[in-house]
Amino acid sequence: MANPPSLTLKQAATLARVSVRTIYNRIADGTLQTTRAGASKRITLESMDSWLSHRKERKPYGQTPDRSESGK
C-alpha cells in the first residue's frame, strides 16, 4: 500500500514559516496528520493544506476585530 503524498517535518516547517517545534505541537494537538516513511514521520499534504488554509482565514497576530462589525 502506497503512502499518501507527504512532507518531512522540516519541509512542513519551512513551507509554513514556523519552527519544527510548532509542527510537533500541531501533530500533538491533532491538527496535522502524519504517516511513516521507514523510520521517519512525515506530514500528509492533505492535512498541511487544510492547516495552511485555516491559518490564512485568521487575522494576523495583533489585529483586533473591527469595532463597527461588532455593533459597538
Sole residue written with cell 494576523: 60
Single out the residue of 8, 12, 24 nearest to residue 49, CA to CA: 12
Residue 1 pLDDT more than 80? no
**What is the pLDDT, as a whole number, of residue 33?**
96
Instruction: Give just the sign of the alpha carbon dihedral 22, 28, 29, 32.
Output: positive
Residue 65 pLDDT more than 60? no
Residue 67 pLDDT more than 60? no
Better-predicted residue by pLDDT, 17 or 72:
17
Computed over every residue of the chain, the mean pLDDT equals 85
**What is the pLDDT, as a whole number, of residue 11?**
96
What mean pLDDT do residues 14-32 have?
96
Instruction: Give just the sign of the alpha carbon dihedral 22, 26, 60, 71.
Output: negative
